[in-house]
Amino acid sequence: MGDVQDRDHAARRLIDSVSDQAIYMLDVQGCVTSWNPGAERLLGYAEDEIRGRHFSQFFTPQDRASGAPGEILETAAREGRAEVEGWRLRKDGARFWSLGTLHAVRGETGALVGYAKVSRDVTARREAEERLAASERQFRTLVSGVVDYAIFMLDPGGVVANWNTGAQHIKGYSADEIVGRHFSTFYTDEDRAAGVPARALRTAADQGRYEAEGWRQRKDGSLFWASVIIDAIREENGALIGFAKITRDITEKRQAQLELQRAHDQLAQSQKMEALGKLTGGVAHDFNNLLMVVAGQAQLLRRKVGDDPRALRALDAIEAAARRGEDLTRHLLTFSRRQRLTPTATSLSERAPGMRDLIAASLPNTIRLDVRLPDTLWPVTVDPSEFELAVLNLAVNARDAMAEGGRLTLTAENRTCDGRGPDALEGDFVALTVADTGAGIAPDILPKIFDPFFTTKPPDKGTGLGLSQVFGFARQSGGLVTVESELGRGARFTLYLPRAGGPPQPRVDDEPTPHLGSARILLVEDNPEVADVAARMLEELGHEVRLTGSGAAGLQALETGEPIDLVFSDIVMAGEIDGLDMARRLRHARPGLPVLLATGYSEAAERIGDEFPILRKPYRLPELNRALAKLLAPRAPPC
């Protein structure tokens, strides 16, 4: 008997020592029969206050009204125990969240004699769980509500584990369609073949994060440019449990960046052309003056040497070198859009026979030429000589690409552009295409082919200015030139030439025009060497020449009253009065006096337009003769 009492006292001391849990006994009706200090601390009642009262005292009015206390007793009596969790009330009416167990206590015969109740306050834990649950709900709501970002989870093998609204919006798959499938579904065939998805996961696992941009594929097969972030997700012990993946469609941003880059490239190209134009303009006048001296003297000597074959061969070489130098300067000026063009309404179909002959003369027998320019083509506004030079440059370029022979085709068609292309052309154009079956152009070279001096030919085979001339001619004419090419499959150059507003003009006869007798010509030229050549060429044509070295001197010479039939002047001259200033003063002082201007290049010539006729240096005797004859031709008397 004493041992039992000792055990009861020990158990009582143990129960009384527990201060963080309420441990108390109930009779079979649920009334309190014992109470430990932990129950007093948790519920606020002293033992003598609560003994004999029903344990439903601790339940909320809502729970009491629903019969919850009785149900708990019945469950414990039936099953031996009942786990209970819910809001409970302290003596002062404050609520706390209780987690407890109600055990049925039975006697030696198995009859129910009461209940043992153990409870503890887990309010802090519940609040933390509620905060976590609320945070998770907010996060799920946030993630599911984001439509501009695809946010989803992958398992360690890359299989999609969940799917937000943004992912469905961007990629086109619903959650039911994609959860459980591998994320490589979104990659292109090329990226999958190259192992890009596996490499992305490996990088994220090794480094914690993977970031990249690239093409991704939607459910319908369309592509978009994606910004991708993959973060590795790990347990506290470092074990990899999966990946968080965020994808954003930045196709518009990339296009804007590309447009900006194109704008920068166009600005750089414009600045390069401006710098080249200034450089070219600075040297073109002096260089063409030198060519004028060389070519002019050669033409004059040709009339002196007779039939001496050695002398004629030497003159041929001199004139060929002068023409080559003239072409180089002409190409540079055209590329930089400083070549003075004389655009006229021109019929390409009418010029087809002449272009066929011009091109055929530059082609070997191994290349077949096919020219198809239908009569239905619109007339175009171009400088005929610069146009023929551009076509010839394209043909020569094609010829050099067909070392083993092939076919060169020249075709054209009318096109109306709506301004939505890469170069924003708008209006009516004739698209002239020069296509070859040659070696083609490598992709890394294609963007450079119109740059001046760029060439893949040996130094003695090309200057790198032919295509530059084509580019400059097209732009200065109000059109453009495009190129399509693949290695081994030839190239197609297309010139877009603006439609003329009127009918084509008749072609000018290329034969020299006889001069109309001897004329008294005032020659104004400040370069002594050029002045000497020009004077001798005028005399060779049978004219009487008076020479002055400046614009001011030319005006003074006319004030003497000496009869002059025509003034022939350079434009760029030293002093306050250049050739253009002098010509404009003469137009007011002596409006009936013809004036012919000459220049190798000048900014002033660009602004003259049709104000005065201009002869381009270096000119030849037939060109000089035609220009003079046109101005000296007798005019019909007024009616």
Q: What is the mean pLDDT of residues 597-609?
A: 69
| CB half-sphere exposure, 2, CA atoms < 13 A | 0
**DSSP assignment, residue 447?**
G
pLDDT at 515 over 80: no
List Cβ neighbours of 235 (8 Å cut-off, separation of 6 or more): 241
Percent helix, strand, coil in the chain (nearest 5)? 45, 25, 30
User: What value does the mean pLDDT take over residues 197-213?
Assistant: 94
CA angle 387, 279, 618 (to 5 degrees): 50
Percent of the chain topping pLDDT 90: 42
Q: What is the mean pLDDT of residues 536-563?
A: 89
Residue, of 273 and 227, whose pLDDT is higher? 227
Mean pLDDT over 581-594 rounds to: 91
> For 522-545, what is each residue's pLDDT tens digit?
999 988 888 998 999 899 889 999
In whole angstroms, give the CA distance from residue 296 to residue 293. 5
pLDDT grade, residue 11 (50/70/90)? very low
Q: DSSP strand E in 107-208: where?
A: 112-121, 149-154
pLDDT(281) > 90: no
Residue 256 has pLDDT above 70, yes or no: yes
Task: Work out the average pLDDT over 430-434.
Answer: 93
Structure tokens at 190: 């090329």
Identify the CA nearest to 608 among candidates 581, 627, 588, 586: 581
pLDDT, tens digit, for every residue of 370-400? 999 999 999 999 888 788 888 888 998 889 8
Q: Encode burial over 352-373: b for 16+ CB neighbours within 10 A, e otherwise.
A: beebeeebeeebeeebebebeb
- What distance in Å separates the CA atoms of residue 231 and residue 187, rounded to the nearest whole number? 18
Tell me what pLDDT residue 439 has.
Answer: 87
Beta bridge partners of 159: 182
Distance, first Cα to last Cα, the chain: 160
As a whole number, mean pLDDT of residues 405-413 equals 93
* CA neighbor of 411 nearest in space, from 352, 362, 467, 478: 352
The answer to whether 24 and 31 have CB atoms below 8 angstroms apart is no
Task: Give the domains, in start order, of the chain with CATH numbers.
Answer: 6-121 (3.30.450.20), 130-249 (3.30.450.20), 265-320+513-639 (3.40.50.2300), 344-498 (3.30.565.10)
Residue 142 CB neighbour total at 10 angstroms? 11
**C-alpha to C-alpha distances, 398 to 104, 387, 389, 572, 634, nearest whole angstrom:** 104, 17, 14, 39, 48
Query: Could you tell me the CA-to-CA distances from 93 to 35, 88, 119, 124 in Å, in that order?
Result: 19, 9, 17, 18
Are residues 539 and 532 in contact, defined by beta-carbon separation less than 8 angstroms? no
Bigger pLDDT: 8 vs 580: 580
